[in-house]
Structure 1
Amino acid sequence: MDYLPNHSDKVNLDKLSYYSDIVLLNSTRCEEIPLSLLLLINRSKGSFLAKGFGSKCSSYNLSGSKNFTDAPKGEGTIRLGKTLKKFIHQRLNVGHLIFLNTASILPLRNGIRLVGLSFSTKAPRLQILAKNINKNSLSENKDIFNQWLVGFTDGDGSFSIVRQNDKWSLTYIIGQSTYNLRILHFIKKQLGSSGSIYIEKNRTQAHFRIRDLVTLEKVIFPIFDKYPLLTTKYFKYLKFKEAHSILSNTSYTKSEKDSLIFKILDSKPDILPYISPAWSIVNYKVFNYETASQVMSKSWLVGFTEAEGSFYLVSKSKDKIVSETVIVGRIIHAFEITQKLDEIVLIAIKHLLHINTNVQFKKAGYYTIVTTNSRAIENIICYFKNTFKGMKAVEYRIWARSYLNDKGNYLALRKIRDNIRIMKARTNSN
């Protein structure tokens, strides 16, 4: 069956996911829903009853309303209007179609029919009728961009309070290698051409910055007040905003401002390690997909990954010669994000991307989440497809295509890896 729903067939999604038209039968590990899933049709009531395997059940109708009720694990249900012809099963934001196979409807007693489900993961005409983040929506949707910017700032941004020449300077700043200069121009454009871009004398580093107090108040603060930072930068933002309030207050003398801002700079969190209060809605604990999704949006994660994520090829073994025979080494795909602080952020990313490995703390003094697992890599490829704006988009496309086309081909992957290194070196030298 090759059916795409019209507007009346739209089904709203559970609030913990990112697509508004996907029915989550198991929102934590959807890929583990067994093929023995049965769909029951109650002929007398004219409704579909899909047996779920999660801890929630949701009731839907074609007008888009929904109700959430708790149900024992393994007994969740989803009721759908009788004219709905398709489920979209989400495996980490990947559309898998579950089509009704009407030819397999078998009559049963008591007015109940058993319907067989045919599963298809190959649907080139699949169109998810939902709001989804992509490189176009980043430019066109203000809310999506703002969340993305907060994520990017959590990765590579800072709020600077500096005293120079007996004057205070407040600067919102995002730093990047000139290799990724285009992302700074994109941010500047999206913020209404506010701020300026400065390229350092060595031509390898560039910064986007906003210093004007009025622009900070009218452009930057509304974004970060609505969408809070998820890392320890939240505390730095609070100090930055408080310093802004002091400098903007004409009732203070210069000495009073100096004293108050020095006090702000010396202030420290009451509890260490500091965790952004944004995580308070899950009691500062993330242990599955749902709790991660309540705090971390896909827009934020795309922005954070654009700043901090690494898509790379790693050698698991090198070429070697044994008895005059060359044994070719092995190169595999890897994804990694590191953070000096904020372990909870990496734990949430682990659950959102369905990475099986745990967050690790390295002796060098930082946390990392890294995977080379094939299933996780495939999830990550699908999750970030067509989302990045800067040079990360180029790196991601090369990385993803090489996985799909050249996985296991050592010579091809080594050539691709070398070409990426050359591309970066040339860009940074210009």
Structure 2
Amino acid sequence: MRILEDLKNYFGGAGNIWKNGENTFKYKIESLELISNIIIPHFDKYPLVTQKLGDYLLFKTVVNMMKNKEHLTDQGVKKIVAIKASVNNGLSDDLKQAFSEIKPVSRPIVKNKKVPHGQWMAGFSSGEGCFKVVVAKTPNNKLKVRVLIALQITQHTRDEELMTSFITYFGCGKIEKDFRGPKLYYSVYKFAENYEIIIPFFKKYNILGVKSEDFADWCKVAELIKTKDHLTSSGLEKIREIKSVMNKGRYN
């Protein structure tokens, strides 16, 4: 919730934050005036990089239509529904039935998107990244347990071009596809790459929100691995304790 409060303050206190489920909060701005005067100018000045830019451009079209009162006409409503059909998750079943004749508008094409700067990557990773600690069985050491750290960033497959650019940007990692759905991952598994590239990067460009605590714990585990403490019973127990309060464990 802290990061949402920071976001609300950044936008001059506009909008509201409320609890949405056991461990989830939402931040929403619904005022047409605030959206027109604060949100639209912000994202025009600082453009989105992912395919969500296409959603934003369609959203902006609807905002301008509403400012011009077009949403109060039958033709305007149909045009807005056609736009909504191409935004985010599209139309609900009820809207599809009510506007069965509507054809979705074409989404704006977003091409050649790359990481603009380090602060962007830190913000993107704060929202879409995961600092993972894996403890698994192995026959290769006395404790029969191996420990590894991994960075994983998740995104829709439509942003494969952007995600692939992370390999060049960091000089490490790989792209993995999730065959259970339209998702892919930028993953860094090698300890040396995480320790020598990823950790220094995010110490320079800070992770935001509660994920900063996960990153701090992840770094503690990295140091224990670096000093070979993960090969001792006491070190392994310490790693398990740290892992237990990271990511989803932080909310239990």
Taking structure 2 as the reference length, what is the TM-score of the superposition? Answer: 0.79
Q: Which amino acid aligns with 1:330?
A: R
Structure 1 residues 413 and 369, CA gap change in structure 2 (3 angstroms): farther
Structure 1 residue aligned with 2:137: 317
2:193 aligns with 376
Partner of 2:167: 350
Q: Which residue of 2 aligns with 1:254?
A: 73
Give the number of the structure whose residues are more often helix, by fraction: 2
Query: What does the per-residue CA deviation read over 1:171-211, in whole Å, with 9 as the maximum and x for residues that have no partner?
Result: xxxxxxxxxx11111111111111110102x3321101111
1:423 is displaced (CA, Å) by: 5.9
Residues 230/261 of structure 1: CA separation in 2 closer, same or farther (3 Å cut): same
Find the counterpart in structure 2 of residue 208 from structure 1.
27
Tell me if 1:303 matches 2:123: yes
Q: Deviations over 1:27-80 (max 9, x none)?
A: xxxxxxxxxxxxxxxxxxxxxxxxxxxxxxxxxxxxxxxxxxxxxxxxxxxxxx
Percent of aligned pairs with the same amino acid? 25
Q: How far off its partner does 1:254 sit?
A: 3.5
Q: Verify the 8 A CA contact 1:406 1:413 in the aligned structure 2.
A: no
Q: 1:314 & 1:251 partners in 2: Cα distance?
A: 54
- Could you tell me which amino acid in structure 2 is paired with residue 349 of structure 1? F
Any gaps of 5 or more consecutive residues in structure 2? 86-103
1:330 Cα deviation after fit: 1.0
Is the contact made by 1:311 and 1:396 (CA closer than 8 Å) also made in structure 2? yes
d(CA) in 1 for partners of 2:50, 2:33: 25
Classify 1:380/1:367 alpha carbon distance in 2 versus 1 (closer, same or farther; 3 Å). Answer: same
CA–CA separation in structure 1 for the residues paired with 2:246 and 2:202:
22
CA gap of 1:269–1:191, structure 2 versus 1, over 3 A, is same
Task: Give the Cα separation in 2 of the matches to 1:188 and 1:303.
Answer: 16
Distance 1:332 1:251 in 2: 56
| CA contact 1:312–1:335 (8 Å) conserved in 2 | yes
Deviations 1:201-241 (A, max 9, x none): x3321101111111111111112112221212111111111
| Equivalent residues in 2 for 1:187-336, closer than 5 Å | 187-200=7-20, 202-250=21-69, 253-266=72-85, 267-269=104-106, 276-277=110-111, 279=112, 292=114, 295-318=115-138, 327-336=143-152
How much has 1:318 moved relative to structure 2?
Answer: 4.3
Give the AA of the match of 1:372.
Y
CA contact 2:122–2:208 (8 Å) conserved in 1 = no
User: Residue 416 of structure 1 corresponds to which residue in structure 2?
Assistant: 239
Aligned residues of 1:314 and 1:333 also touching (Cα < 8 A): yes
* Equivalent residue letter for 1:210: I
Deviations 1:301-338 (A, max 9, x none): 111000011111113534799xxxx6431101111112
Residue 338 of structure 1 corresponds to which residue in structure 2? 154
TM-score by length of 1: 0.48
Question: How far apart, in 2, do the equivalents of 1:424 and 1:359 lie?
Answer: 22
Residues 243-283 of structure 1: per-residue CA shift (max 9 Å, x gap): 1111111366332331221122233546xxx8524x2xxxx
- Letter paired with 1:315: V
Q: Quote the offset at 1:427 in angstroms.
A: 5.1
Residues 414 and 339 of structure 1, relative CA distance in 2, 3 Å threshold: farther
Deviation at 1:373, TM superposition (A): 1.3
- From 214, 227, 232, give the equivalent of 1:395: 214
Matched with 2:203 is 385
Separation in 1 of the partners of 2:105 and 2:175? 26
- Within 2, Cα distance between the matches of 1:262 and 1:251? 12
Cα distance in 2 between the residues matched to 1:361 and 1:426 = 25
> Which residue identity lines up with residue 260 of structure 1 in the other structure?
K
Q: Provide the C-alpha distance between the structure 2 equivalents of 1:327 and 1:253, rounded to a whole number of angstroms.
A: 70
Q: Deviations over 1:103-153 (max 9, x none)?
A: xxxxxxxxxxxxxxxxxxxxxxxxxxxxxxxxxxxxxxxxxxxxxxxxxxx
Cα RMSD, aligned residues only:
2.6
5+ residue gaps in structure 1?
1-180, 285-291
Matched position secondary structure for 1:399: helix
Distance 2:13 2:128 in 1: 24
